[in-house]
């Protein structure tokens, strides 16, 4: 087939497919144009989920008749004053593709009025432009799109249901509203209002969009280095979602779904949340426009950073610092910070991280008391109607000090859970195994950072029988495991000789530990970083070295465990991401008993 030049209409429709994928893309482009025009009130109207009709009205700077005619021409823009600024984009859009692309595949009508002029209108149908005509309209711009993809029926067949398309369009507005809290937004779908946001501060907008549950679980995140500045909120590890839809990442006021940023977010939460769960956060990154390329993707949701390592490191370090608080430390309310002009209101000094030694301080004293012990012998059978003698009740303990957020231990339930009373009267239920697992994990991690986990040689080396493949796998990591205090060597084709165990594990049985470690290492990709492998191995060691469910604890042991949880970083979840404690306050109790 010979090479030929496509007709302009066909070429425009092909190009439009890169920008206009669905109604949500139309809404996103038009709302971004409104924000770039300085709008403070934006109203979006949808019919049939946006497939039948989309209207976006704003009170921004309108367009004169000659500008209105140019606005629907391909490659026309008001957002690049100089061609040399192509890689220093300070607006949400600049390509000059949105309006021509929308007009190429639908019926488009623009009505615009500058502050000191009259209103005019222009229509485009399937890429064919009409004449500019006088019209009636308020200052600002009104863009109406009807019959999306009527000019490209094949594309229309790939759209989802009106309800699904409407949800995507509303989500596009939500993300822009989070990045632009000073603007008010209203969205209606088939005559029903689905979103209404008045101009507000950033913290109020986050509360409105992410809800009170996130507000109650949010921790402030703040960090600066060089030209990079990060601010925002991240939820505590116990507050997660089944998907990553509530990860709001904003770069220079632009909502993005950038892979580098999302990966950094997951790395920061890596050993704090359960597998398959996703953290929740609203993070705002500011950097010079020339340090980021926003023209990687037609929808401009993916970025390319000039210094990727610096951005990744800043995000991970800031999040880990925010998440390093001990268990029971209450998250500050969003309204606790007085709003200041601009995003700098969130550049608050982050709390100083706990010193690494605090994770292990006092743990050695607890370790012997909490080490696995044989279960007590069963009580002798008693005649029916008789109860065993009860020990004398200890004197009533004083209320826990305010600096002990987990409170004082009251009792042990099912030989597994510690029931405590917080200073404000709330009930706290602690999973003793999960809590001690995190304490052991952090202590091992501190030792590993300081040069290696302290090992305890076994009086008699233990021989553990394993499948040959597991033996080979463990022996292949013998050097790395030695750094963790686990010294092994081969003992024939199907056995491993264990000469030393980490001192924090006490007299743990090495056989289950080695089997679990072999399975953990087998799940890793060969290219996975050594640090990640060591993290998983530390978590597995911590699990086997922790006090088990079913172990009876004395009141001093329970109180010691609570105090260590309060002083240990990341103690709100265990090494597998499960919560270590639950809190039941007065409001929850009142709701459960129908008092409110």
Task: Kindly indicate whether the domain formed by 202-346 is annotated with CATH number 3.30.360.10.
Answer: no
Q: What is the pLDDT of residue 536?
A: 62
Nearest to 152 by CA among 18, 1, 14: 14
Q: What is the pLDDT of residue 354?
A: 35
Query: Which residues, at least 6 apart from 449, have a Cβ–Cβ distance to it below 8 Å?
Result: 356
User: In this structure, what are the phi and psi dihedrals at residue 516, rounded to the nearest 5 degrees?
Assistant: -70, -40
> How far from 430 is each of 437, 539, 589, 590, CA to CA, in Å?
12, 19, 18, 21
The 3-state secondary structure of 188-242, one letter per residue = EECCEEEEEECCCCHHHHHHHHHHHHHHHHEEEEEEEECCEEEEEEEECCCCEEC
d(CA 528, CA 312): 18
Cβ-based neighbour number of residue 16 at 10 Å: 25
d(CA 565, CA 431): 11
DSSP state of 177: H
Q: What is the pLDDT of residue 512?
A: 82
Cβ-based neighbour number of residue 188 at 10 Å: 16
d(CA 517, CA 522): 8
Nearest to 215 by CA among 199, 195, 236: 236
Between residues 82 and 134, which one has the greater pLDDT?
134
Mean pLDDT, all residues of the chain: 79
Between residues 325 and 140, which one has the greater pLDDT?
140
| Radius of gyration of the chain from its Cα atoms, rounded to whole angstroms | 31
d(CA 488, CA 466): 13
pLDDT digits over 562-587, tens only?
998 888 888 888 877 788 888 888 88
DSSP state of 575: T
Nearest to 25 by CA among 172, 126, 144: 172
Q: What is the pLDDT of residue 143?
A: 95
Q: What is the dihedral of CA 508, 510, 514, 520, to 10 degrees?
A: 0
Cα angle, residue 258 at apex, residues 256 and 264 outer, rounded to 5°? 120
- 8-197 topology per CATH: Heat Shock Protein 90 (3.30.565)
Nearest to 586 by CA among 400, 430, 423, 431: 423
Q: What is the pLDDT of residue 454?
A: 82
Most confident of 34-43, 387-396, 435-444, 525-534: 34-43
Q: What is the pLDDT of residue 336?
A: 32
Instruction: Domain 354-374+397-596: state its class.
Output: alpha beta
Mean pLDDT of 370-397: 39
DSSP letters for 484-538: TT-EEEE-STTEEEEEEEEGGG-S--HHHHHHHHHHHHHTS-TTS-HHHHHHHHH
Six-digit token string for 31: 């709302």
Banded model confidence at residue 13, pLDDT cuts 50, 70, 90: low
d(CA 552, CA 543): 18
Residue 534 reports pLDDT greater than 70: no
d(CA 465, CA 477): 17
Residue for token digits 């019919």? Answer: 47
Q: What is the pLDDT of residue 332?
A: 35
Can you give the residue ranges of every domain in the chain?
Answer: 8-197, 202-346, 354-374+397-596
Q: What is the pLDDT of residue 242?
A: 84
Between residues 381 and 132, which one has the greater pLDDT?
132
Query: Which residues, at least 6 apart from 364, have a Cβ–Cβ distance to it below 8 Å?
Result: none
Cα angle, residue 159 at apex, residues 154 and 165 outer, rounded to 5°? 155
Segment 520-523 long-range contacts (CB within 8 Å, at least 24 positions apart): 521/473, 521/474, 521/477, 522/470, 522/473
Cβ-based neighbour number of residue 151 at 10 Å: 21
Residue 521 reports pLDDT greater than 80: no
> How far from 240 is each of 51, 277, 350, CA to CA, in Å?
33, 6, 22
Q: What is the pLDDT of residue 304?
A: 86
Banded model confidence at residue 349, pLDDT cuts 50, 70, 90: very low
Banded model confidence at residue 389, pLDDT cuts 50, 70, 90: very low
Cα angle, residue 446 at apex, residues 441 and 451 outer, rounded to 5°? 125
Q: What is the pLDDT of residue 447?
A: 80
Mean pLDDT of 418-441: 88
Mean pLDDT of 476-504: 86
Cα dihedral sign, 293-296-297-302: negative
Residue for token digits 């200041």? Answer: 340
Cα dihedral sign, 9-13-18-19: positive
DSSP letters for 540-551: HHHHHTSPPTT-
Cβ-based neighbour number of residue 229 at 10 Å: 18
Q: What is the pLDDT of residue 30?
A: 93
Contact of 120 with 112, CB cutoff 8 Å: yes
Between residues 101 and 528, which one has the greater pLDDT?
101
pLDDT digits over 169-217, tens only?
999 999 999 999 999 999 999 999 999 999 999 999 999 999 888 888 8
pTM reported for the whole predicted model: 0.67
Q: State the first-to-last Cα distance of the chain, in angstroms, to the nearest integer.
A: 76
d(CA 466, CA 304): 47
Query: Which residues, at least 6 apart from 551, have a Cβ–Cβ distance to it below 8 Å?
Result: 370, 372, 373, 415, 432
């Amino acid at each position: 087939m010979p090479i030929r030049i496509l007709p302009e209409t066909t070429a425009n429709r092909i190009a439009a497919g890169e920008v206009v994928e669905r109604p949500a893309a139309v809404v996103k482009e038009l709302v971004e144009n409104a924000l770039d025009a300085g709008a403070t009130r934006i109203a979006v109207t949808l019919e049939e989920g946006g497939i039948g009709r989309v209207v976006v009205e704003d009170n921004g700077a309108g367009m004169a008749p000659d500008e209105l005619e140019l606005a629907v021409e391909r490659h026309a823009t008001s957002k690049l004053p100089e061609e040399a600024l192509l890689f220093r984009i300070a607006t949400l859009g600049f390509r000059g593709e949105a309006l021509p692309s929308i007009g190429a595949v639908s019926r488009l009508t623009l009505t615009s009025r500058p502050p000191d002029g009259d209103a005019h209108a222009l229509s485009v149908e399937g890429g064919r432009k009409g004449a500019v005509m006088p019209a009636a309209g308020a200052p600002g711009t009104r863009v109406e799109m009807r019959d999306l993809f009527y000019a490209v029926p094949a594309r229309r067949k790939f759209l989802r249901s009106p309800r699904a398309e409407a949800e995507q369009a509303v989500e596009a507005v939500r993300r822009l509203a989070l990045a632009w809290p000073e603007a008010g937004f209203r969205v209606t779908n088939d005559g029903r209002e689905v979103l209404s946001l008045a101009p507000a501060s950033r913290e109020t907008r986050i509360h409105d969009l992410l809800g009170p549950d996130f507000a109650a679980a949010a921790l402030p995140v703040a960090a600066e280095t060089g030209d990079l500045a990060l601010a925002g909120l991240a939820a505590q590890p116990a507050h997660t979602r089944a998907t990553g839809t509530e990860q709001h990442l904003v770069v220079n006021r632009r909502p993005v779904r950038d892979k580098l940023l999302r990966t950094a977010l997951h790395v920061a939460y890596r050993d704090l949340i359960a597998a398959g769960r996703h953290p929740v956060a609203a993070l705002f990154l500011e950097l010079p426009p020339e340090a980021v390329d926003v023209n990687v993707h037609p929808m401009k949701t993916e970025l390319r950073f000039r210094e990727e390592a610096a951005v990744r490191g800043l995000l991970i370090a800031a999040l880990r610092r925010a998440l390093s608080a001990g268990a029971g430390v209450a998250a500050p309310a969003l309204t606790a910070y007085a709003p200041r002009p601009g995003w700098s209101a969130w550049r608050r000094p982050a709390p100083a991280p706990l010193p690494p030694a605090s994770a292990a301080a006092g743990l050695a004293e607890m370790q012997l008391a909490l080490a696995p012990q044989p279960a007590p012998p069963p009580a002798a059978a008693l005649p029916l109607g008789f109860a065993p003698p009860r020990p004398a009740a200890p004197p009533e303990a004083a209320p826990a000090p305010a600096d002990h957020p987990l409170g004082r231990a009251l009792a042990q339930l099912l030989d597994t859970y510690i029931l405590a009373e917080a200073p404000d009267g709330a009930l706290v239920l602690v999973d003793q195994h999960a809590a001690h697992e995190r304490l052991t994990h952090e202590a091992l991690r501190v030792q590993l950072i300081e040069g290696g986990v302290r090992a305890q040689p076994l009086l008699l080396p233990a021989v553990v029988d394993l499948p040959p493949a597991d033996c080979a796998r463990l022996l292949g990591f013998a050097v790395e495991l030695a750094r963790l205090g686990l010294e092994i060597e081969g003992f024939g084709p199907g056995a491993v000789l264990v000469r030393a165990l980490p001192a924090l594990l006490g007299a743990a049985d090495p056989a289950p530990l080695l089997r679990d470690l072999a399975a953990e290492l087998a799940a890793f990709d060969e290219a996975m970083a050594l640090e990640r492998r060591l993290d998983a191995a530390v978590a597995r060691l911590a699990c086997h070295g922790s006090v088990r469910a079913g172990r009876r604890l004395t009141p001093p042991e329970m109180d010691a465990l609570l105090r260590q949880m309060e002083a240990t970083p990341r103690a709100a979840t265990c090494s597998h991401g499960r919560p270590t404690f639950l809190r039941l306050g007065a409001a929850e109790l009142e709701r459960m008993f129908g008092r409110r």
